[in-house]
Structure 1
């Protein structure tokens, strides 16, 4: 979840799992999977910088300096 590829792979996985025999489930799963593919594509666009919460994995929870 700390890179575009990781977040995209997660959304792609969840989208594929969500797809089912019902047309509404298939539509929702395809939409989530498409968002995942979009995140994966963002990794290869040089002009797009990741947000601050994706840049440094150590700046998250519990990284306060004492």
Structure 2
């Protein structure tokens, strides 16, 4: 019987690293006054943008 990808140590390491990269990227989205910034492709907050509801709910989830 083949091993499940869920039990594969290399795959679990990849998933953990990917999760940390996502958290590091979106860390800049948190606004000190509350809510979230819209980010550029490099993770830089975009000034003067309106935070859309679906993006906020995605970040909260």
The normalised TM-score by structure 1 is 0.37
When you count helix as a share of all residues, which structure comes out higher?
Answer: 1
Structure label with greater radius of gyration: 2
The normalised TM-score by structure 2 is 0.39
